[in-house]
């Protein structure tokens, strides 16, 4: 005869819920939140968000993760969307947002140098 397991006196273990299989991106132009599968290319997400704006609002240039009192983390077009944890939110950035940062002196353009190419500022 098979033995029945005896009831355990220890409390049952709490199962942590699995992380969501999606990420949410707040579109700053429309105010709408869009959901994407975790690991979606950021460039695809931006293109889809912009397509849904139908040219009526300012288009997004890229996506960034933001958290109070933290430096934003920008996603390049081939970056995979992911959740950075508690307090972090994903949102779109528009060219209007970037131009206001330039006006505030918060944004500096980086000089891009091509290897083997001499820069001549006298031209």
Give tens-digit pLDDT for 45-79: 999 999 999 878 999 999 999 999 999 999 999 99
- Domain contains 111: no
**Measured distance CA(87)–CA(83) in Å, rounded:** 10
Into how many domains does the chain fold?
1
Section 77-93 average pLDDT: 96
Tell me, yes or no, whether 11 lies in a domain. Answer: no
Percentage above 90 pLDDT, the chain: 56
Q: Is 69 a domain residue?
A: yes
Q: How far apart are CA 67 and CA 86, in angstroms?
A: 9
Residue 57 belongs to a domain: yes
Nearest of 16, 36, 34, 19 to residue 84 by alpha carbon = 19
pTM: 0.66
Parent domain of 39:
22-103
Instruction: Give the Cα separation of 24 and 90 in Å (integer).
Output: 7
**Does 48 fall in a domain?**
yes
Please determine, for residue 111, whether its predicted confidence score (pLDDT) is greater than 50: no
Q: What is the pLDDT of residues 24-45, one digit of tens each?
A: 999 999 999 999 999 999 999 9
Q: What distance, in Å, lies between the first and last C-alpha atoms of the chain?
A: 96
Which CATH number goes with the domain that contains 68? 3.10.20.90
CA distance 72 to 106: 13
CB distance 76 to 41 below 8 Å = no
Average pLDDT over every residue of 88-108: 71
Other CB atoms within 10 A of residue 112 CB: 5
The answer to whether residue 37 sits within a structural domain is yes
109 domain residue, yes or no: no
**Domain assignment of residue 62, yes or no:** yes
Instruction: Express the helix, strand and coil content of the chain in percent, nearest 5 each.
Output: 15, 25, 60
């Amino acid at each position: 005869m098979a033995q029945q397991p005896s009831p355990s006196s220890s409390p049952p273990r709490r199962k942590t819920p699995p992380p969501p299989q999606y990420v949410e991106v707040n579109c700053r132009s429309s105010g709408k939140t869009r959901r994407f599968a975790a690991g979606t290319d950021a460039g695809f997400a931006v293109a889809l968000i912009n397509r849904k704006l139908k040219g009526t609002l300012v288009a997004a240039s890229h996506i960034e993760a933001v958290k109070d009192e933290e430096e934003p983390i920008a996603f390049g077009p081939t970056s995979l969307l992911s959740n950075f944890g508690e307090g972090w939110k994903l949102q779109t950035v528009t060219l209007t947002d970037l131009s206001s940062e330039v006006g505030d002196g918060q944004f500096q353009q980086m000089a891009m140098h091509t290897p083997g190419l001499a820069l001549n500022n006298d031209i």
